[in-house]
C-alpha cells in the first residue's frame, strides 16, 4: 500500500492545492512528486485529485483517504516521539524557518548565543515568507518557525518571543520628516515604499498606514534594499526595531519614533503541538529572547538619542 513518504506528499498536496508548492514544501522536484501521486492513484485505481487550471482538489475517494492518511502520519509522530525521547533532543539538527525581516538581524546574535550556551544544538535554517513557512511546518518539513504573525492553526503551539516596534525610516535629506510624524497614517502614500507582494511585513505596513496606495514603481524582496532606496530619498518606510542597529550604519538613513502612535508587531516561535520536544522548544524560546533583548534595547536607545528637536 502507500509508503509513509507518499502519504506525506499527499498531505503536502492537500495543504497547498498546487503541485509546484507541494513539491517545494516536500523538498523534491515537481515531476518526482507527480510520479508518486500517480503511483498512489494507480494503486487505488482511481484519481485522488481533480486537476484544475491553477490548483488541485480532492476527489471523493481522495477525501475518504484523507482522515486515514492523517491518522497514520499522526501515529508516526508518536513513534518518533518515543524514539526521540530515548535519544535526547539534540541527536539531530532542528529545522528552523525564519521570516526574512527577522532572520538577518536576529541570527547575528542568536547563533553566537547558541554556540556559547548550547553548543550541542545544531540548526538547519530556512529563510522564507510566512505562508511558505506555515505550509512547511504543517507538512513536517520544518520543526520550528519564527514569524511575526499568529497562525490560526490548532495543530501548532506557540510562544511569544518579543514585541518588535516600528519606527519611521527616512533619508537625512528628507525635510518633510525632519520633525517626526505622529503616526504611520501621516505618511504620504505617494512616498511609501514596500516589500513585494507576499511579505507579511508589507501587509502589516499597509494596515498600520491605513492605505492601499504606495510607490508601485519600487519594490524589493529584501528590507535592506528598500532601506537603501529610502536613504537616497526615493521615499519612506517603516523599519522594525530589530533591524535598527544594523541598518543605522547607513549614515544617510534617519530613524525616528512616531510622536503619538507606538506601532508594533509580535514575534512568535511556532512548533507542532504533538512534537516530542515541547519543553526543549520553550527553553529555545528563552534563548531567543535573551539574544534579541540587547538588540531591541540598543535600538530604542539609538532612536531616543536622535529624537527631533
Q: Give the three-state DSSP class for 121.
A: coil
CB 238 within 8 A of CB 261: no
Tell me how far the alpha carbon of residue 111 is from its chain's centroid: 18
Alpha-carbon gap, residue 194 to 219, rounded angstroms: 6
Alpha helices in the chain (DSSP H): 4-16, 19-26, 30-44, 60-87, 103-117, 130-139, 200-209, 223-231, 244-247, 278-305
pLDDT in tens, the chain (309 residues): 899 899 999 988 998 889 988 888 787 899 999 999 999 999 999 999 999 888 899 999 999 999 999 888 878 776 766 665 555 555 568 899 999 899 999 999 999 999 998 888 889 899 988 888 988 888 888 899 999 987 788 889 999 999 999 999 999 999 888 888 999 998 888 889 888 877 788 888 888 888 766 666 677 788 899 999 999 999 999 999 999 999 999 989 999 999 898 999 999 999 998 887 888 999 999 999 999 999 999 999 998 877 765
**44 backbone dihedrals φ, ψ, rounded to 5°:** -75, -35
Residues 121 and 187 both lie in one domain: no
Residue 307 is assigned to a structural domain of this protein: no
Residue 63 is assigned to a structural domain of this protein: yes
CB contact burial 4-38 (16+ within 10 A = b; e otherwise): eebbbbbbbbbbbebbebbbbbbebeeeebeebbe
Q: Which residues pair with 165 in a beta bridge?
A: 264
| pTM attached to this predicted model | 0.74
Q: Which domain holds residue 203?
A: 164-264
Domain boundary residue, one of 59, 87, 115: 87
Residues 11 and 70 both lie in one domain: yes
Residues 191 and 58 both lie in one domain: no
Query: Which residues touch 131 (CB under 8 Å, ≥6 apart)?
Result: 198
The total of structural domains in the chain comes to 3
Residue 303 is assigned to a structural domain of this protein: no
Residue 237 is assigned to a structural domain of this protein: yes
Amino acid at each position: 500500500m502507500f509508503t509513509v513518504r507518499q502519504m506525506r506528499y499527499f498531505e503536502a498536496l492537500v495543504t497547498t492545492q498546487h503541485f509546484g508548492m507541494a513539491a517545494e514544501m516536500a523538498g523534491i522536484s515537481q515531476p518526482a512528486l507527480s510520479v508518486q501521486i500517480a503511483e498512489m492513484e494507480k494503486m487505488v485505481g482511481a484519481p485522488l485529485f481533480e486537476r484544475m487550471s491553477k490548483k488541485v482538489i480532492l476527489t471523493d475517494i481522495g477525501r475518504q483517504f484523507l482522515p486515514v492518511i492523517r491518522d497514520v502520519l499522526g501515529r508516526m509522530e508518536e513513534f518518533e516521539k518515543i524514539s526521540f525521547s530515548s535519544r535526547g533532543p539534540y541527536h539531530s539538527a532542528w529545522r528552523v524557518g525564519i521570516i526574512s525581516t527577522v532572520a538577518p538581524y536576529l541570527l547575528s546574535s542568536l547563533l553566537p548565543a547558541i554556540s556559547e550556551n548550547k553548543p550541542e544544538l545544531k540548526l538547519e535554517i530556512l529563510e522564507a515568507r510566512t505562508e511558505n513557512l506555515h505550509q512547511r511546518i504543517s507538512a513536517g518539513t520544518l520543526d520550528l518557525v519564527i514569524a511575526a504573525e499568529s497562525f490560526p492553526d490548532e495543530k501548532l503551539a506557540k510562544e511569544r518571543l518579543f514585541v518588535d516596534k516600528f519606527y519611521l525610516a527616512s533619508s537625512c535629506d528628507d525635510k518633510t520628516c525632519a520633525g517626526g510624524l505622529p503616526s504611520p497614517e501621516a505618511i504620504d502614500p505617494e512616498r511609501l515604499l514596500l516589500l513585494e507582494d507576499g511579505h507579511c511585513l508589507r501587509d502589516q505596513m499597509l494596515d498600520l498606514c491605513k492605505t492601499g496606495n504606495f510607490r508601485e514603481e519600487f519594490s524589493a524582496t529584501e528590507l535592506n534594499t528598500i532601506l537603501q532606496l529610502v536613504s537616497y530619498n526615493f521615499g519612506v518606510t517603516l523599519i522594525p526595531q530589530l533591524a535598527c542597529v544594523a541598518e543605522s550604519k547607513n549614515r544617510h538613513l534617519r530613524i525616528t519614533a512616531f510622536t503619538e502612535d507606538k506601532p508594533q508587531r509580535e514575534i512568535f516561535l511556532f512548533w507542532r503541538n504533538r512534537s516530542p520536544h515541547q519543553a526543549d522548544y520553550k527553553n529555545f524560546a528563552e534563548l531567543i529572547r535573551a539574544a534579541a533583548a540587547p538588540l531591541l534595547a540598543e535600538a530604542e536607545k539609538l532612536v531616543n538619542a536622535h529624537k527631533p528637536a
